[in-house]
Chain A
Amino acid sequence: MTSRLPSTTIDPARAVPAPDSPSIGELLAFERLLAELSAGFVNLSATSVDDAITDALRRIVGLLDVDRANLIGFAPRTGESYLTHSWTVDGFASAAPRSVSGDFPWAMQRLQAGHPIVFSRLDELPAEAAADEATWRRVGVKANLTVPMTVGGRIEGAIALASFRRERHWPGELVSRLRILAEVFGNALAYKRARESLDSAMKFEQLVSEMLAALLTTDRAEDRDRVIEAGLRDMALFLGAERATLWERIGSSPEFRKTQRWLAAGVPVPPDQAGGVAVPWISAQIVAGSVVRFASSADLPPEAAADLPALRELGVRSLVIVPLTVSGAVVRALSFATVHEERDWPEALLPRIALLGKVLASVLARDEAHRRGEEARAQAAHATRVGAMGAFAASLAHELTQPLAASLANAETGVRLLAAPEPDLDELRATLADIVADERRAGDLVQKLRRFLRRGDVERGELDLREVLEDVLQFVGREAEARGVRLRLEIAEALPKVVGDRVQLQQVVLNLLSNAIDAVAAGDRTAREVAVLAGRCGDGVSVEVRDSGAGMDGETLARIFQAFFTTKPKGMGLGLSISRTIVEAHGGTLSAHSAPGEGSTFRIELPLRPPRHTA
């Protein structure tokens, strides 16, 4: 008894049992299965290929009257064998996907060498197959036919048929038909693999473009770091890496240091390699623009011997690292590594990793350029701030001298009072209280000045406009008085707070006030007034600085906001240009109105909160 035609697929009337050669009906059914398998796999998505394979195995079980059909795959490098798909008739436990190398050492070796495994009874197995035999016996297999499967010319797996219910003979015809079947499966798997790789390529490109989009809409440094780390995570998960690291080249040296990193769960944090990692050979390759990849450190050439200790220390088992270039220079590197097992990094992955690298490099370069621009702007702003303050140095010194002089006078008075036979304690108490108050006043001013003059990052906070304006008036008040200019501050009641950078906004007001004082100090003594008016304006606030100076003609007015335009003998011509930049960074506007003989008015309009992604 060889095979019996299953009633479900073959017309029973035409089914003729034949011990050694298949019946016509059996042949036809088999041909149909082959045709369907070949055609059926073509238009399937990667996931439904799995279903189609399982379905095909089910039909084979039925058609060939066996109890189980398995699809086995061989891992490319390690040769590890995995049960990937299986179908078992009702009444027997089904087989779960798993590694089967350990269960069938002899069989897997023979299959990988291209030989089929055929036995009708377990005792046909040779002595060296003892381990395999034990497994079959345990599982309950009485007869087995397994043929190797070739995909794209390489043996990549096998199809196995098992009989649980009885021992059975496997005719030569059946073996050759199973071989054909295996070939069809192989093609289907090759197709599946191609589909998967296409899908994964699309998924990869999607990941890259999502990351790029996230980076392009992220301006704050900490957000950008977060996006990069998330991107590294997605890429590493996609590539099956356990560790993803972005490296930054240290100056123009051949050394790199870590800037961002992602580690898979359970992967130990590698020891910190301050000042770069000592992998001279890999570094040299990267600096030269080459990609380095190895599935095992044993694959590295002898020249890379010096790199091995550092790799060992970092726990790197396999690695792929690509250089990132900006304008032709290697400035960073991107690496993916495994630490638990050795792993092949197929050549096909390289273009993708390179693409990711390009995205990162260009975004980071853009970032760098942006940061440098910001730095330059901040430096110019600081320089003009210090310059503007210099003009008020004398009056500020006076402002500081007052409380200090009062303190000294009080302190000496206190000493004298104490020396009296019966010190006047009330007087002493009042004296000390005054000293405290004066020292505090001096300290406050110094703090305000320091805050104003420091070179620092933009710090946004809720600001009381009255405080901001009063501080500036304190800075310039003396100087204005000394030059016979009256300052008038008018602030509307219940002005809402604005969100902004105190120092920057004070710089703008100081600059406008300074210009206004210059403008009126030169003019008629009776009209020497500068007014600062703050009020509501739509949804925001406005601050006007009005002077009673000579005013400007249209030509001057048109140019005052240009950098390096100045009407002052010692001016740099940056004040108004920087002021406008600052106000605009707060989402506001700075405008000027003036006519000869009518003075000038500079008007700042600010929203209560600046929009995101500015400054």
Chain B
Amino acid sequence: MTAPADAAGTVFVIDDDASVRRALERKLRTAGFRVETFESAQDYVARAPQAEIACILTDVRMPGMSGLDLQDSLAQAGRALPMVFITGHGDIPTTVRAMKGGAVDFLPKPSSEREILAAVAEALQRSAAIERERRELGSLRARYEALTAREREVLALVVAGLLNKVIADRLGIHETTIKVHRGRVMEKMGAASLADLVRMSERLGLAPDADPARR
């Protein structure tokens, strides 16, 4: 079955219909997922559940806040999770909006178990990937924070593709010192190559600054 040990995450099920909620809860629980249920989008927002790896399985059309409203609201609050939508009457604009908002899947109601479990598993995998990413970024940021101001200057110029000589000239220090800084940066950041360092700086969101001296 799809019950994946590595996808051991939590599924937040939101549906206003008690029967459907119960059935989905049972299905996912017996398939090996952790499940929490919510009777409305407002309920979810109010309880603000926490889990490292999680996804949301929600009905689109519900009284009060709809599934799509919830998607928007979570995105704005920076609390986005992979979402799987279920709907009894999906129309194209709704589907497009949900998918643009990052929906993992858009399932008709009723859907087969295979489809539901596959979609949830994919959503959790995506959540796990995001989590992994988040952690990596965190450690990268920590490493970056550990650099001295001078090293950060050097890093910026190195990833901008400037030669040591040019950098030395820019910063008004000796080329040998630049080499030392550069080695330190590579080491502290754990970068294996210049290309690696460039990728890291991109992930950190450091705009390549080709001409920092002009500040």
Q: Which residues of A contact B (CB under 8 A)?
A: 394, 397-398, 401-410, 412-413, 416-417, 424, 427, 430-431, 434, 437-438, 441, 481-482
Contact = CB atoms under 8 A, between A and B. Distances in A.
Interface of A is mostly: helix
B59 to A, nearest CB: 9
A410 B26 contact: yes
Given A431-B26, A481-B63, A405 B88 contact: yes
A409 B120 CA distance: 14
Contacts of A405: 20, 23, 86, 88, 109-111
28 contacts: A394-B89, A397-B89, A398-B61, A398-B88, A401-B110, A402-B17, A405-B86, A405-B110, A407-B23, A408-B110, A408-B112, A409-B23, A409-B24, A409-B110, A410-B23, A410-B27, A412-B112, A413-B27, A416-B1, A424-B30, A430-B26, A434-B19, A434-B22, A437-B19, A438-B19, A438-B23, A441-B19, A482-B61
A405 B109 CA distance: 6
B41 interface: no
- The 10 A-B pairs at the shortest CB distance, nearest first, are namely A405-B110, A412-B113, A406-B19, A409-B23, A401-B88, A406-B23, A408-B110, A481-B63, A402-B17, A413-B27
Given A427-B30, A438-B23, 18 more contacts: A397-B88, A397-B89, A398-B61, A401-B109, A405-B86, A407-B23, A409-B23, A409-B113, A412-B113, A413-B23, A413-B26, A413-B27, A416-B30, A424-B30, A434-B19, A441-B19, A481-B63, A482-B61
Contacts of B24: 409
- The interface size bin for chain B is 20 to 34
B116 interface: yes
B163 interface: no
A424 B88 CA distance: 31
Interface of B: 1, 17, 19-20, 22-24, 26-27, 30-31, 61, 63, 86, 88-89, 109-113, 116
Nearest to B1: A416
Contacts of A410: 23, 26-27
B89 A398 contact: yes
B99 to A, nearest CB: 21
A563 to B, nearest CB: 34
Contacts of A441: 19
A398 B59 CA distance: 11
A413 B112 CA distance: 10
Contacts of B1: 416
Nearest to B88: A401
A430 B17 CA distance: 18
A530 to B, nearest CB: 15
Contacts of A434: 19, 22-23, 26
Contacts of B116: 409
Contacts of B86: 405
Nearest to B19: A406
A605 B88 CA distance: 39
A437 B22 CA distance: 12
Given A397-B89, A398-B61, A403 B30 contact: no
A479 to B, nearest CB: 11
A481 B26 CA distance: 28
A597 B27 CA distance: 51
Contacts of B30: 413, 416-417, 424, 427
A417 B1 CA distance: 11
B110 A427 contact: no
A431 B61 CA distance: 25
Given A401-B109, A409-B110, A409-B113, A416 B19 contact: no
B149 to A, nearest CB: 54
Given A398-B61, A404-B110, A409 B89 contact: no
B62 to A, nearest CB: 8
Contact of B22 (A404, A406, A408, A417): A406
B20 A406 contact: yes
Contacts of B113: 409, 412-413, 416
B98 to A, nearest CB: 17
A197 B111 CA distance: 87
A394 B63 CA distance: 15
Nearest to A438: B19
A477 to B, nearest CB: 9
B156 to A, nearest CB: 51
Contacts of B112: 408, 412
Contacts of B17: 402, 406
B58 to A, nearest CB: 14
Contacts of B63: 481
B210 to A, nearest CB: 52
Q: Which of A398, A406, A430, A482: most chain B CB closer than 10 A?
A: A406
